[in-house]
A and B are shown apart, each in its own frame.
Chain A
């Protein structure tokens, strides 16, 4: 099985997304980057670091766990709650960039919007994902996409990151159709 995205592809995609975010928002001063645990949180840290290097200043970034807001809790065994860390500057009136690894049904992002609503009222909420695999069940789209990967619903998209898995790659598992 060959990788849909190599380490180099991922690196390039994250750099491009970082530039696009800065461009769209006219710089970094109002941006708060929030990653959705677990892999989205690591991607957020990387994107924040890239933007730090470009802008030459610290980008506000943190994590947002959405477990308690999921609408599919009853369909699975209880999940472990992951840490939420909102940077001290908060999200009130800010441009919040949500980061996740894979955009699929859209339900995770819906839960994230609910979770954000409890914390404060951002000026805008934008979404950046490494992979968009399609099959949306809700009217949600990403503002920044690393790679569109057409898949069948029987397949699964496995994102590996060095921080957790020791390697950077994206693999599509299972047969198409």
Chain B
């Protein structure tokens, strides 16, 4: 595997390999070791054409713990905001000798374009492209779910996971539906019908419009961020009505199974899709998702960059 553009680039075995690698890296990171020499001399560029402090910092920490050199290239003040094309930017990165580009971009498919057009020879890692995919987020979510609910299994067979909210515009939801179902979990999508894409019936997930009926039967609830601008686009009448039907409040949390966890990819709209006391509750693994993010991204960088030219898992 050269690039990570979509969960479709991974097999179940490959995905589990990344989660296992992340597990070992987490153990090392928990000990005294802060830095590994594994990617010494490699250059990783964080190309962020869209603001995302948490994802950028997470990839940066991951790369630095593996001793890679990191160059941050963000939209503000860079040539991307001055109308320079993706192609020209990629060719510049190639000239700088980037071994990998971690790209966040507002256009769906931007990461794939960067990879397919051979504008540069390094690996491309999709850190979120438009409303398409965000594979590293799904991998860290799967890692978090497996750690809490996996009971030692390598996959997620038998678990039932609800993804709640703006599925239509969510790259986190698209990647998670593909990955969690590939790892054997049952995925339920819960949203107002306006926030589910036409064609969602072809996804490996079931659909529900009724949050309350699903809550007692799931092992994890993943809340999606609701962008403020959705309200002006007629997707729902107002934020109060949205919260009433699709927000996770403490009353709904009390209906969850005892072992079930609450997740959110961040950044949260407290009081809209998730109540503050839910986000801060003992069930919430939201802060831990951030920690796990670094370990999972180290594993991704390790798998893509540490080896030679042969395929992962070819032995």
Which residues of A are interface residues toward B (Cβ below 8 A)?
Answer: 65, 68-69, 73-84, 86, 114, 118-120
- With a cutoff of 8 Å between Cβ atoms, the chain A residues found around residue B302 in the complex are 68, 78, 81
- Are B312 and A84 interface neighbours, CB within 8 A? no
- Are A74 and B308 interface neighbours, CB within 8 A? yes
- Complex Cα spacing A74 to B188, Å: 41
- Are B32 and A69 interface neighbours, CB within 8 A? no
- Are B37 and A69 interface neighbours, CB within 8 A? yes
B31 interface residue per 8 A CB criterion: yes
- Are A84 and B28 interface neighbours, CB within 8 A? yes
B139 → chain A closest CB, angstroms:
16
Which residues of B are interface residues toward A (Cβ below 8 A)?
Answer: 17, 20-21, 24-25, 27-28, 31-33, 35-38, 66, 302-303, 306-308, 310-315
- With a cutoff of 8 Å between Cβ atoms, the chain A residues found around residue B38 in the complex are 68-69, 73
- Are A76 and B36 interface neighbours, CB within 8 A? no
The contact sample of 12 A-B pairs, CB cut-off 8 A, is A68-B37, A69-B36, A69-B37, A73-B308, A76-B307, A77-B308, A78-B302, A78-B306, A83-B24, A118-B32, A119-B33, A120-B32
- Are A77 and B31 interface neighbours, CB within 8 A? no
- With a cutoff of 8 Å between Cβ atoms, the chain B residues found around residue A76 in the complex are 307-308, 310
Task: Return the chain A residue nearest B67 by Cβ.
Answer: A68
- Complex Cα spacing A69 to B38, Å: 6
Q: Do A118 and B33 contact each other (CB < 8 Å), given the known contacts A80-B17, A82-B24, A84-B24?
A: yes
Q: Do A77 and B24 contact each other (CB < 8 Å), given the known contacts A118-B32, A119-B33?
A: no
- Complex Cα spacing A114 to B21, Å: 20
- With a cutoff of 8 Å between Cβ atoms, the chain A residues found around residue B311 in the complex are 77
- With a cutoff of 8 Å between Cβ atoms, the chain B residues found around residue A84 in the complex are 24, 27-28
- With a cutoff of 8 Å between Cβ atoms, the chain B residues found around residue A82 in the complex are 24
Contact partner, B307, options A73, A114, A119, Cβ 8 Å: A73
- Are B21 and A81 interface neighbours, CB within 8 A? yes
Q: Do A83 and B27 contact each other (CB < 8 Å), given the known contacts A69-B37, A78-B303, A78-B312?
A: yes
Chain A binding surface, main DSSP class: loop
- With a cutoff of 8 Å between Cβ atoms, the chain A residues found around residue B32 in the complex are 118-120
- Complex Cα spacing A83 to B31, Å: 13
A91 → chain B closest CB, angstroms:
11
- Are A75 and B308 interface neighbours, CB within 8 A? yes
- Complex Cα spacing A118 to B67, Å: 13
* Beyond A74-B307, A118-B33, 18 additional pairs, beta carbon < 8 A: A68-B66, A73-B306, A73-B307, A75-B308, A76-B307, A77-B307, A77-B308, A77-B311, A77-B313, A78-B302, A78-B306, A79-B307, A80-B17, A81-B24, A82-B24, A86-B31, A118-B36, A120-B32
- Are A118 and B35 interface neighbours, CB within 8 A? yes
- Complex Cα spacing A83 to B306, Å: 18
- Are B25 and A81 interface neighbours, CB within 8 A? yes
Contact partner, B31, options A75, A78, A119, Cβ 8 Å: A119
- With a cutoff of 8 Å between Cβ atoms, the chain A residues found around residue B36 in the complex are 68-69, 118
- Are B27 and A77 interface neighbours, CB within 8 A? no
B138 → chain A closest CB, angstroms:
20
Q: Do A78 and B307 contact each other (CB < 8 Å), given the known contacts A73-B38, A114-B37?
A: yes
- With a cutoff of 8 Å between Cβ atoms, the chain A residues found around residue B35 in the complex are 118
Task: Return the chain A residue nearest B314 by Cβ.
Answer: A77
Task: Return the chain B residue nearest A114 by Cβ.
Answer: B37
Q: Can you list the 8 inter-chain pairs with the closest CB atoms, starting with the nearest?
A: A78-B307, A77-B310, A81-B24, A68-B38, A118-B33, A68-B36, A77-B307, A73-B306
Task: Return the chain A residue nearest B41 by Cβ.
Answer: A74
A94 → chain B closest CB, angstroms:
15
Task: Return the chain A residue nearest B312 by Cβ.
Answer: A78
B170 → chain A closest CB, angstroms:
30
A161 → chain B closest CB, angstroms:
20
- With a cutoff of 8 Å between Cβ atoms, the chain A residues found around residue B310 in the complex are 76-77
- Complex Cα spacing A65 to B28, Å: 10
- With a cutoff of 8 Å between Cβ atoms, the chain A residues found around residue B312 in the complex are 77-78
- Complex Cα spacing A114 to B40, Å: 13
B40 → chain A closest CB, angstroms:
10
B102 → chain A closest CB, angstroms:
18
- With a cutoff of 8 Å between Cβ atoms, the chain B residues found around residue A65 in the complex are 24
- Complex Cα spacing A65 to B36, Å: 12
A81 → chain B closest CB, angstroms:
4
Task: Return the chain B residue nearest A118 by Cβ.
Answer: B33
- With a cutoff of 8 Å between Cβ atoms, the chain B residues found around residue A118 in the complex are 32-33, 35-36
- Are A80 and B308 interface neighbours, CB within 8 A? no
- Complex Cα spacing A114 to B17, Å: 25
- Complex Cα spacing A76 to B312, Å: 10
